[in-house]
Amino acid sequence: MNRLEMKGVIIVLLSVFIFIFIGCDDEDVSKRPVSLENMSDCYRQNEWNENIIAKELTGKWQWIYTENFWAPDEGQNTENENRVFEFLSDSTLNVFVKDELVESTQWMVAPVNSSDLFKLELDEPVQYLYGQIFLCDKILLFNDSYRDGTDNYFRKIE
């Protein structure tokens, strides 16, 4: 390979390196909408029971973020999956993906052991809805990382 060809190869490699380096932007890393600590603090500012939680859950919630206990700080933004969970006041839960109904079951709120925390009891298991429920403003968290599971965040849309 002569010097001119070598120079061309080096320029191409440098260009590829720069292109890859510029494409790796920290802005692309998904961030948790609210920390677990802040969700817990906000949640504990109110008094909760099964009926109040059920009333707050009623409506449509879009799944917006998920993070696995085994891969902390590597969560994923899930809004583009267009997965919506509709909690109806008659205890029906409907799950939609891109506006298509994909699951339906019955739900109720139950205490977690003898604590002031609550969870869902479902007639049929529904992915993403495991763990302790934390509500704060228009954000809902199903916190299952306390037992090595996945934390799933939702935003109320209706």
Q: Per residue in 81-133, pLDDT tens?
A: 999 999 999 999 999 999 999 999 999 999 998 788 999 999 999 999 999 99
Q: What is the pLDDT of residues 1-11, one digit of tens each?
A: 656 555 555 66
Neighbouring C-beta atoms of residue 141, cutoff 10 Å = 25
* Cα distance between residue 77 and residue 19, in whole Å: 24
Residue 134 pLDDT > 60: yes
Distances (CA, A) of 35 to 99, 114, 134, 136, 144: 29, 25, 11, 11, 14
Q: Residue 70 has what pLDDT?
A: 67
Higher pLDDT, 14 or 101: 101
Q: What is the pLDDT of residues 32-85, one digit of tens each?
A: 789 999 999 999 999 999 999 999 999 999 999 999 876 666 778 888 899 999
Report the share of the chain in percent with pLDDT over 90.
64
**Do 132 and 111 meet the contact criterion of CB atoms below 8 Å apart?**
no
Domain ranges of the chain: 36-156
Q: Does domain 36-156 have CATH number 1.20.120?
A: no
Which tokens sit at 52? 């109040």
Residue 31 pLDDT > 70: yes
| Average pLDDT in the chain | 86
Q: Residue 39 has what pLDDT?
A: 95
* Four-point Cα dihedral 124, 57, 95, 41, nearest 10: -90
Residues sharing a CB contact under 8 Å with residue 52, sequence separation 6 or more, in sequence order: 46
